[in-house]
Amino acid sequence: MTMGFISGRRNGLRVAVCLLLLVGLPETGQARTETFRWLDPNPDPSPVIAFSIYWRTASGWSEGLDVGMPSPDLEGVYSASVEVAADATEVAMKSRDDVGAASFLSNTLQLAPNGHIDDPTGPIAISAGETVSFAGSVEGGVGPDIDYEWVFSGPSAILPSDVEDPGPVGFAVAGVYTVALTVTDGRDLADPSPATLIVTVGEAQAPPEAGSTGNELFVPASTSVEVERVATGLDNPVYLTAPVGDSRLFVVESGGVIRIVVDGGVLAVPFLDLSSDVSNAQEGGLLSLAFDPDYAQNGTFYVYRTDTDGVSLLSRFRVSEDRDVADAMSEEVILSVDQPFDDQNGGSIAFDPDDGFLYLGLGDGGSLNDPADRAQDGGELLGKLLRLDVGQPQAPGSVPNGTYAIPADNPFVGNPNVHDEVWALGLRNPYRFTFDRALFDLWLTDEGQDAREEINFEFRGDAGGQNYGWDVMEGAVCNENDPSPSPPCDDPSLVLPFHDYPHTGGNCAITGGYVYRGTTAGLWGHYFFSDFCSGGVWSIQRTSGEGTNWTQALGSAAGAPDQIVSFGEGGAGDLYILHKDGSIYRIGAANPECSDGLDNDGDGFIDVGSDPGCDTASSNLEDPQCDDGLDNDGDNLVDTVDPQCAVPSWNAEGQSPEEVLGASESDGGGGKSCGIGFELVFVLPPLMWLRRRRWRS
């Protein structure tokens, strides 16, 4: 850091007038190097033969450090690099002449804090989809209110952080990123030279070849994971989602109602009630919800359900003027598909975060062994994963098709034997599929019939067109109940699952989940899934294919047969487990109170920036000082009894003005100021000139 200031005017006759409190370096011996620049305001020839630098810490002023007589530059500016105490907050100078007479202490300059990136310690290289854990620290500055600002600049958008140690940060897109940490102290002084670090991100590693099988060899989780029950009392919840960045949780109940969970409670008025036009017989009902990528601007969202006639409907709705209530009269039916039976209706809709198109998973229509071979029949929409352009306006190149459009690069466009909407075929019941919010890969589970459950995987940017095999295959094995498989079971066009497992150990129906992208470092990058029949919960890692058994580690959130009906993902990437009994659990460490989207202290204010009790997002106590039951300033007066607390929402229980004045005038009040009068007036104009000049350069 370079700092400019002016030395005091030589005036040996006045030295004895001002006494300074002299101290040495802190006992820790910690120091930092600062470079100072100054002018000698004395007329030429100057009598000054040497300069000394002083710095101030919480203990007072240091002894002078003699920097001699550096050679000035062509403009008469002197400079010196000096080690000062790490916690120094102010600096000043004295000059002396050849007979030892010294000036008064010059005008003082405040030292800005220095931010440091402690972890990682240097440039780092990773692959897309991996995380880097960051930690920082600060030297100097006046606290305790130190503000941290981490900025991640590069090919993909990464949310900034305002905590000292952000922890794991994911990098989804290959390229070079610059990480910068700026610290600001309680005087609103910011580090003029932010600490920086380069992160080089290579292309995502390819996953192992498909074909891993069985969950019994998955290693039990070596550590427990935090689990929090965030809601109860819901009626058969089957899906949970939220717009990106939204702290509310939108929960879909199979009976036809979408409810909002806020602050751990369920709002009394539903977001949307379609119960009069929903049949939840067998595997039907209101099954899924997807918010438009531009929901914050257009208020548009989509739902997938089976109506009272057993028809599967994809519909568009809009939110009303009340952000917590949808406009039920705004429905536009986008697609309707007749269902021959009441089971295997699919159940998921989701927007690809990369291309913005809407994907819809449809089951094969039901019954055993797909009696009409719909999953392999390109002329049927059943048993398929569809890709639709529902945008308003539609994407360039998309071909209008009534209430939606066909993306120009759908894999079967122009093929007379397959519907243009089809992205993939050969599915029995794709009840749950999701996109990795960091890497945009597709994870697609397909419920088996009598033998196996499967997980399929598609890279971001995959061209589509996969045939996942049903009803010729079930999982990675041939379906012996198919009397006339077409194509044959060993046909190379059939895609093996990324992972499958048999109906053993009580397993019988996979519940697909999400790739964890929340705040718990140890879980990042794990794809979580469960089995409805056994209650087991596992994860599998994309890059290694290694599996982990979380059933015991998750405690009450897992392990109960016939309970786990779905997973959910919140607006910040947190992962949730939904139970049939109406309970919802969050996996992983909860966010601190000041960044969890909840009104924890009931004062009507939420999180940092709104709640006066939140100084930073990392604060884990949302109570303001004047309502926390503590004597924060040690004056034996608590909360509103303290004269500094006029109202409970104030966050400053500091000492009274009389107490502060008394402390400042006591003998232990710290160093006294010097250089007051014409001397200060004399040096300030050159100081301002020097600063302006330096800022322009």
The predicted pLDDT at position 463 comes to 96
Residue with tokens 């879980």, as numbered in its chain: 523
The predicted pLDDT at position 107 comes to 79
Sort strands 452-458 and 499-502 into parallel, antiparallel or unpaired. Answer: antiparallel
Rounded CA gap, 386 and 390, in Å?
A: 12
Rounded CA gap, 577 and 579, in Å?
A: 7
Contact 247, 200 (CB under 8 A): no
> Does pLDDT of 646 surpass 70?
no
Q: Which residue has the higher pLDDT, 454 or 619?
A: 454
**Predicted confidence (pLDDT) per residue in 324-345, tens digit:** 999 999 999 999 999 999 888 8
Question: What band does 492 get if pLDDT is binned at 50, 70 and 90?
Answer: very high
The predicted pLDDT at position 595 comes to 64
What mean pLDDT is reported for the chain?
84
Rounded CA gap, 414 and 99, in Å?
A: 98
Residues 42-65 as b or e (16 or more Cβ within 10 Å = b):
eeeeeebebbbbbbbbebebbebe
Worst-scoring range by mean pLDDT, 179-193, 581-595, 646-660? 646-660
- Residue 12, helix vs strand vs coil: helix
The predicted pLDDT at position 370 comes to 92
- Residue 13, helix vs strand vs coil: helix
* Domain covering 2-108+675-696, topology: Immunoglobulin-like (2.60.40)
Q: Can you say whether the dihedral through the CA atoms of 138, 140, 144, 147 is positive or negative?
A: negative
- Residue 65, helix vs strand vs coil: strand
**Predicted confidence (pLDDT) per residue in 395-444, tens digit:** 999 999 999 999 999 999 999 999 999 999 999 999 999 999 988 999 99
Q: Which of 192, 195, 197, 196 is nearest to 35 (CA)?
A: 192
> Does pLDDT of 217 surpass 70?
yes
Worst-scoring range by mean pLDDT, 15-19, 104-108, 286-290, 599-603? 15-19
Sort strands 124-127 and 195-202 into parallel, antiparallel or unpaired. Answer: parallel
Q: Which of 524, 552, 556, 518 is nearest to 538 (CA)?
A: 552
Question: What band does 596 get if pLDDT is binned at 50, 70 and 90?
Answer: low
Rounded CA gap, 128 and 109, in Å?
A: 45
CATH number of 212-590: 2.120.10.30
Contact 471, 478 (CB under 8 A): no
**Predicted confidence (pLDDT) per residue in 652-685, tens digit:** 666 433 332 233 333 333 332 222 222 222 233 3
Best-predicted range by mean pLDDT among 228-232, 599-603, 662-666?
Answer: 228-232
Domain with CATH 2.60.40.10 in the chain: 114-202
Q: Which CATH number fits domain 114-202: 3.40.1440.10, 3.40.1350.10, 2.60.40.10, 3.40.50.620?
A: 2.60.40.10
Rounded CA gap, 362 and 455, in Å?
A: 16
Domain with CATH 2.120.10.30 in the chain: 212-590
DSSP code string of 157-178: ----B-SS--EEEEE-S-EEEE
The predicted pLDDT at position 654 comes to 61
Upper half-sphere CA count for residue 539 (Cβ side, 13 Å): 24
Sort strands 22-23 and 48-57 into parallel, antiparallel or unpaired. Answer: unpaired
Q: Which residue has the higher pLDDT, 298 or 690?
A: 298
Worst-scoring range by mean pLDDT, 154-168, 346-360, 387-401? 154-168
